[in-house]
Structure 1
């Protein structure tokens, strides 16, 4: 989550693509993306828990 936080706060990215596993995706979603209002897209996170996670409409899976 530290790298994602740096991307959002220092590099001012508009969105996050990743992470590559469900556990990290959930952590980044809750602690970085939601906290900063940043869209997050994950092409590989498959945990069913992510389908019902509080995401404020910011999380998408492809």
Structure 2
């Protein structure tokens, strides 16, 4: 991974955020339980699937992640 591939976007709103961390406005108890909605590398909307056992989120360019 190069410096240009470092996380730089908030997973909840998609806005620029150093290190891919949540913004103070996005960081609250409700969002702590929410799956990510935006890719931290490119800010694209993620394809998110929620099930009773957890969630999966996939970026068309950078791949996927899952809860748990």
TM-score by length of 1: 0.30
Based on CA coordinates, which of the two structures has the bigger radius of gyration?
A: 2
Greater RCO, CA 8 A, separation 6+: 1
Task: Give the number of the structure whose residues are more often strand, by fraction.
Answer: 2
Task: Give the number of the structure whose residues are more often helix, by fraction.
Answer: 1
